[in-house]
Amino acid sequence: MEQNTVNIFLYGKKYTVPASLTIMGAMEYAGYQLKRGCGCRNGFCGACATIYRIKDDRELHACLACQTKVEDNMYIATLPFFPLIKQPYDIEKVKPTEQIMMQLYPEIYACIGCNACTNACTQELNVMQYIAYAQRGEYEKCAEESFDCVMCGVCSSRCPAGISHPQVALLARRLNGKYLAPESKHLTDRVQEIKDGTFEELLQALMDKPIDEMKELYNNREIEK
């Protein structure tokens, strides 16, 4: 049976690849050795940020290469690293006030509301909304809205105001976790158990299992309510 194939363009060069592949899989099929721009391969690390267009379509799409299947006449360029601005701070000294965001990331107040960040987000987050929360010092809401951010930087690459959205969100989550969210007693207890080596034997037993059995255990785990 003949395999279905599509034509894609990687950095301007045409390749014919199986239609069932992801962009990342297609790049390796085409002979590219991925040393950067590939991490977890499961959509969690944000390392494989990619932009693409389909022939004769003006719209520019953003995605993660490990999650997105190839399409015919897809023009692809990866974005393995975007230079986000990360301001230095000591989390022990900063406080969850509106002034700290103004001090560290004043560019968020230059947001023009174009929503390019939200449209570009590979996780379909409402990025412009969580920036609005950060502007108002509503760090709990900003932390919740940005929780699934994988720091890929695609949102910032499209921002005319030069905002480093992932770093703003990360600061909000840190402020929320340290100063605003209620302390999780069972988490504190679990961290101490880990330090005491309580789970060493169990972890080793898990690591010795075949990957398929580990996946099965994970998929059928009991979720804490």
Model confidence pLDDT, tens digit, residues 151-183 = 999 999 999 999 999 999 999 999 999 999 998
Strand partners, 16: 7
Strand partners, 52: 61, 76
Residue 225: what pLDDT? 63
Looking at the whole model, is its pTM more than 0.85?
no
Percent of residues, the chain, with pLDDT higher than 70: 98
Closest CA to 89 of 75, 76, 103: 103
How far CA 175 is from CA of 32, 109, 204, 225, in Å, comes to: 41, 19, 34, 25
Domain 5-78: CATH architecture, name and number where available? Roll (3.10)
Domain coordinates in residue numbering, the chain: 5-78, 98-180, 185-215
| Residue 79, helix vs strand vs coil | coil
Burial of 19 (0-12, 13-18, 19+ CB in 10 A): middle
> What is the C-alpha to C-alpha distance for residues 19 and 115, in angstroms, rounded to an integer?
32
